[in-house]
Amino acid sequence: MTAQSDEQKMIAFIMKLPPTANPYNSIAGYLVRETAPLLLPIWARIVMAVIMAGYVIMFLQSLHLIYIRIVTKTFRFHSFTRLGIVKIDVPNLTCFIYFLYSLLALADLTFQQLMDAKLVSGRQKLTLFGSKFSILLAGSWAYIWVCFCQCVSTLWDESWNHSIQRPRLSAPLRWSLNMGFVVASFWAVPILILTFLQANSEFEKLRHTLNIILSDLHHQATTYNGTGYNRMELLLRLQPASMLGVYRDRLALWIRRGIIVGLVDLIILGIIYAPLLIVSIGALRRRTAQCTFTAATGTAEESLQFQKIEARLRVEQQTIVMHAYTAYALTVIFVPVMAWQLSYKGSTFLKSETCLIITQIVCAVNP
């Protein structure tokens, strides 16, 4: 629905007002209904409350782990491999991402619950949503980098298989890879935050304009004597209301831009992640098989040692494979959801209860 059609709809509402009605109260109620944010149904609020409990547990657990690692002086995010490229500390990074994401998710879900209870207007919710999604994307790129480092190390080892001393990558190549990782991880973050900040700005303008109009209408309603009113005078008073539709359309446009940026980043993630995952898992299996062969052909002491290494590698392999496939599935599941959101025309998704429910629940259960 465009701003022009909104004006026509409002004029039609005014023309149909019964003569006994207080036109100022009636039009004020109409504007409040038309601009009110969509609320979740009761059952969805209950689901979100249960999800919030899970995020509280996640927040406390991640905070406890961060505290332990800080105390033991093992809290670091990266080091460098023997090839000279950045090596992500997966446990620490995962813990930190869960900490940040759970904190923002709790704030976002709390805002939604307060909005559903009509206690707040939803200010800053869009910024929270954009920040939460930015963390998810940056974390996904970090996990891709882990797979990429594994692939590079494997290919480099195989190319220097018969060399006793394997050289590092050249300095330009190391810098290119490391800077490429930083750019790939964070290129979408400032754009997403900017788009949702702009969307929040349009929302603030809409609320500010609406409050001015409502204040004037309520003042006029108290002085209305019920003997009739001038429709042209009322329409002139409602002239600022023409901007409400403009602000709403701009709000929807900025949200759509943010969705498009996130969708592009997710598609790139999905395309790159799959082959890297296959190569990384293949390298793990080859190393496990090599330990099995060495254990079978070595001495009794060597066999026992390599059997222990093999058992540890198999457990690590199963854990990594399960975590990798889960992370991949949880990342790409956003693609069809976001593509479906973009299928809505104009700002209609802002008034779609189905869109709100699916967006809130899918984003909430997918840390």
Give the residue extent of every domain in the chain: 21-159+168-223+230-364
**Do 52 and 109 contact (CB within 8 A), yes or no?**
yes
Long-range pairs for 84-93: beta carbons < 8 A, 24 or more residues apart: 84/168, 84/169, 84/171, 84/174, 85/149, 85/152, 85/169, 85/174, 85/177, 85/178, 86/145, 86/149, 86/178, 86/181, 87/149, 88/142, 88/143, 88/145, 88/146, 88/149, 90/143, 90/146, 93/139, 93/142
Element (H, E) at 194: helix 188-223
- Res 63: pLDDT: 92
Local confidence pLDDT in tens for the 367 residues of the chain: 555 677 888 888 888 888 778 888 888 898 888 888 778 888 888 888 888 898 899 899 989 988 998 888 888 877 777 777 777 777 788 888 889 888 888 888 888 888 877 777 766 777 787 888 888 888 878 777 777 776 776 666 655 555 555 566 677 777 887 787 778 778 888 888 889 889 888 988 998 999 999 998 888 888 887 776 677 888 888 888 888 888 988 988 998 998 899 888 888 888 887 777 777 777 666 666 665 555 555 555 656 666 666 666 666 666 666 666 776 777 777 788 888 888 888 778 877 888 888 877 777 666 5
What is the Cα–Cα distance from 80 to 62, expressed in whole angstroms?
A: 25
- Res 56: pLDDT: 92
Q: What is the dihedral of CA 220, 221, 227, 231, to 10 degrees?
A: 60
- Res 228: pLDDT: 65
- Res 265: pLDDT: 87
- Res 60: pLDDT: 93
Contacts of 85 (CB under 8 A, 6+ apart): 149, 152, 169, 174, 177, 178
Whole-model pTM: value is 0.78
